[in-house]
Structure 1
Amino acid sequence: MTEEARRTIAADIVFDGESAHRDCAVVTEGEDIVSLILRREIPRGANVVELPKGAWLAPGFIDIQVNGGGDVLFNDEPTPEGIATILHAHRKFGTTSLLPTLITDTDEKMIAAKRAVAEIMPHAPGALGVHFEGPFLSSERLGVHRADLRRAPQPHHVEMLAPPPGGVSLVTLAPEEAPPGFVSELVAAGCKLALGHSMATYAQTREAMSEGLTGFTHLFNAMRPLASREPGPIAAALESPFAYYGLIVDGEHVDPAMLRLALRAGLGHPMLVTDAMPPVGGCAQEFVLQGRTILAQDGRCVTADGTLAGAALDMASAVRNCVALLDLPLERALVFASTNPANFLGLGKRLGRLVAGYRADMTAFDPQSLRVISTWVAGERSAEEW
């Protein structure tokens, strides 16, 4: 590629996934990052995007749990077009890649979701694969998942849940509901495994982790609570340096005091997730989730009886809440939003950092408000500026 084909994005602060650098620029060619240089080293005549004064440039946010966005619910529209709408809705909040998430549904719907992801991935690098949240869940911790669609794993599910070509398959399950060896089979098939909607004991959780389960879906929510005589999955997650746990930092799903305690005590790797529903990036204030009307009000998505049903949260707000509610440095919150989820998905050598050889997925934002200014996915800048 010629020097003219290179693109340079300069910012007052560039956070590379580990450290913040002042007065630097990221140089890209095509979809890749070539180098991180000082602003004064930018060649004369270079194709330069100068970000506004005070703006930060950081790795694009990676959200591994997105039920919907832009008034689209993935369960209702498991199509390439539905995924494209969800991607666009979340990009304005700094999310440059995500896993469309299908909550408990039929085998036919699960097959359709995986097919749609496989179809769109070659054309939309922001789609990393698919997240199947269910249907192998505990009857005691279903939340808004439909009880009549909950079922036991069958042999054909291993192949059905295997990753789409070139993509990731994340499966959230209750390990105590799975037959012996099922976790190992899914891991051998290439799936990433997370515990969620589970009443697993500490021993059952540890057994699943020994078979390859490394993730925990929305830690604290929809799982056996931490107790003195039965520490359950929460203790197993926090004491393991190999665990990755999703946190919904909206001030609603988990009290900030509990999250602050988990971050102080935990040895593993926190990840910000939104558990986002259709109103994120959309206009409607209510939607139907598998026959139940859900209201989006006061920053919450709830059923008529007040049960939480996903979240009305975006990733930029989750990062901002980490700073405001959890007293975290911005740099650490950014790691939770990009580097850690990339590593969990096995993509940590390609995504989640701004260094040479990584894909040019970037988010530019105001560090005070976390208002997103612009994004780049595989080197392509968003058509819209927000």
Structure 2
Amino acid sequence: MDPGTVVTFAAAGIASLFMAWAIGAGSSGSTPFAPAVGANAISVMRAGFFVGILGLLGATLQGANVTEAVGRDLVVGTTLSPVAAIVALSIAAGLVALGVFAGYPIATAFTVTGAVVGAGLAMGGEPAIPKYYEILTVWTLTPFVGGGVAFGTAKLLRHEAVPELLATSVLAGLVGAILANVEFVLLGPPDVAQSIAGTVAPDPRVRLAVTLLFATVVAGALAADMRSDRARGQRHFLLALGGLVAFSAGGSQVGLALGPLLPLFDTAGVAVPLVALLFGGGLGLLAGSWTAAPRMIKAIAQDYSSLGPRRSIAALIPSFMIAQVAILLGVPISFNEIIVSAVIGAGAAAGTGGVSGSKMGYTVLAWIGSLLGAGVLSFGLYTLLSVGL
């Protein structure tokens, strides 16, 4: 590899690590445990510590789909050049970092998608319209589905006619059924992810039985825990959900940092195991979570809604579900959008969510502005650099 290529890879790698740090500090590092912090189930600093570890694991085990989509599916007819990758990553990371320090949750997926598309179009690529439809559908449905499911779940947990132990155990079983079918890289053949249920029982009919068994075991374990000490069992369930969302955040968000690097390896003909890249990106997420996430955890936990344990559980269940669907589809998605909409839905169920309308208005504008602004800046900067070069 010639010195120029080495320098290019080093610059792109630094930009990617900066992006991973910004994501860990903001989206994936702050949102997963925010409802648990708001419910006083865990401290801000402990939340930042655990979300970093779980994000690293999620990035390594589940990050392949979104990484491939961001790197190869957002623009057709061209491959991102090293300069375009550096431009896209630098602009996206800068905007996300600005949001972290300003205290507003910038939608990372919007920012990275806009930056990659802007750089790709500036290179002469064509829009990947079918992929855009898929992405926009998920983005549009997320606040309605997440907020709606959180609202309904919170209402169920608060309903006087439904025993809390029964409702919480059923919800735990649902989470267990989903977890049994979540795909992990290490469970499948090389470069193929596979679920726990699929590994144990390849036959679809037997797989359903394994899923039901897994759900029953999880529901029974939580029921036994809550019978011993209801408050403690509820807290354990809430923390487990926060951990699952943190894990899912790593699997989804690492692709936003690593995706633009894939074309560089393709162009240079360098073969690097994807799992190794995902692990490196996960370390960047961990660094961001440990160094800067507490600020955003506080912002989301306290500024958007004051939630008790039941409403926090209601917010985290749809967050986990939506995140896993997005990972399966290979769609980059914003965890700020997922969590904020779920927190609002859960808070609205009690009629006293304490949501700041002005704060939400500014946040939505920041989301839209990050998508458009990142695209325009990336397009313009790459065009200027191309003229200079």
Q: Which has the higher strand share?
A: 1
Name the structure, 1 or 2, with higher relative contact order (CA <8 Å, separation 6+).
2
Q: Which has the higher helix share?
A: 2
TM-score range, shorter chain: under 0.3
Structure 2 length normalisation: TM-score? 0.23
Structure 1 length normalisation: TM-score? 0.24
